[in-house]
Amino acid sequence: MDFWKQFKPGFTILAPMEGVTDIAFRQTVAKAARPDIFYTEFTNVNSYSSEKGRHDALERLRYEPDEQPIIAQIWGTNPDMILQTAQAVKELGYPAVDLNMGCPDRHVVATGGGSGLIRTPDVAVAAIRAAKISGLPVSVKTRLGYSSLGERTDWLSILLNEHPAALTVHLRTKKEMSKVPAHYELIPEIVALKNQHSPETTLIINGDIKDCIDGQKIIEQGVDGIMIGRGVFQNPFCFEKTPRKHSRDELLNLMEYHLDMYEKYHLTPYDPLKHFYKIYINNFPGASEIRARFMDTRSIAEARQILAEIRTAE
Ligand SMILES: Cc1cc2nc3c(=O)[nH]c(=O)nc-3n(C[C@H](O)[C@H](O)[C@H](O)COP(=O)(O)O)c2cc1C
């Protein structure tokens, strides 16, 4: 059965986020309220050209069976390496592969990858064709253009004419980064473009969506699925179908679970984990003082100690 067609309109995805959606965080989001689909952080296809790179790629492509369906996102420009990586991803049991064509990071763009591909459509097309040889369903995640919104029709048509299994459109250009509101007004036009060029492609919209309820107005316009990225920082329960208020204890328990997962998967170093604390230590009285204490910690053990103290101080 076609992988993407198993999902009913209105399905939800946790966006790929480098340095964020590793196995520990995905497990934590699954514990809070799971999306219908997970994506990995992106993996550079050049990783597979060296032993060390291959080892690192395998680390970042680790997942638990209970995270299925999970899609591996990859990035790069070399068709041979794209195929090799897509094949490796397939062997790891991923049911589908996604090509990143939207990342604005200057190091990525300097190699021609990510949103750099918007300026080299021939390379983008070759990338899709190469990935398809793996036999996996191939999807693309991209933006509306590189420097101007006026690029959107040509760019999205080129992609759709390759009939990707799914297309995720982040409703901004590369130049806009995340500095302007997502262009929701363009959704009807994008739906029409998709129906004109590749009606069988599953269409996913991304950008500024807060939660499932917020995403509903997008789905009603003929979009198949919604993808949420930073919304999960504001509300780790954002994938709840019926949102409800969560207590401080629930947030602390979720934070503790994240610590457990970070240890379970032997993730290091400690400091990047602190970036997540504002997700959990938020929206309750005294949160900013408590968060300041967590920011001074130097290990998971110290963080656990503070958790125990604030629980017993009740
Ligand atoms: C920290 C961070 C890392 C990201 N890494 C990736 C990535 O690896 N691949 C990708 O396609 N997009 C990446 N993105 C972009 C998100 O997937 C998403 O397109 C963007 O944040 C807009 O959606 P949102 O408003 O729901 O966050 C990243 C975004 C953030 C904030």
Q: Which of 12, 13, 14, 18 to mutate to test the pocket of ligand 1 (most atoms within 8 A of CB)?
A: 18
Q: Ligand 1 centroid to 310 CA: how many Å? A: 33
> Residue 178 CA: which ligand 1 atom is closest?
22
Confidence class of residue 283 from pLDDT cuts 50, 70 and 90?
confident
pLDDT digits (tens, 9 = 90+) for 118-171: 999 999 999 999 999 999 999 999 999 999 999 999 999 999 999 999 999 999
Tell me, using a 6 A CB cutoff, whether residue 205 lines ligand 1.
no
Closest by CA to 192, choosing from 203, 181, 183, is: 203
Structure tokens at 38: 């997970």
Tell me, using a 6 A CB cutoff, whether residue 113 lines ligand 1.
no
Of residues 288 and 313, more confidence is placed in: 288
Cβ neighbours around 314 below 10 Å, total: 6
* 238 annotated active-site: no
Answer whether residue 253 shows pLDDT above 80.
Answer: yes
Answer whether residue 30 shows pLDDT above 80.
Answer: yes
3-class state of residue 253 by DSSP: helix
Structure tokens at 183: 């262009």
Answer whether residue 5 shows pLDDT above 90.
Answer: yes
Burial of residue 288 (number of CB atoms within 10 Å: 0-12, 13-18, 19+): exposed
Mean pLDDT of the chain: 96
Q: Ligand 1 centroid to 261 CA: how many Å? A: 22
Check: CB of residue 136 under 8 Å from CB of residue 86. Answer: yes
Structure tokens at 85: 């990586």
Cβ neighbours around 28 below 10 Å, total: 24
Answer whether residue 1 shows pLDDT above 70.
Answer: no
Instruction: Report the pLDDT averaged over residues 190-216.
Output: 97
Q: Ligand 1 centroid to 126 CA: how many Å? A: 24
Terminal Cα distance for the chain, rounded:
53
pTM, two decimals, is: 0.97
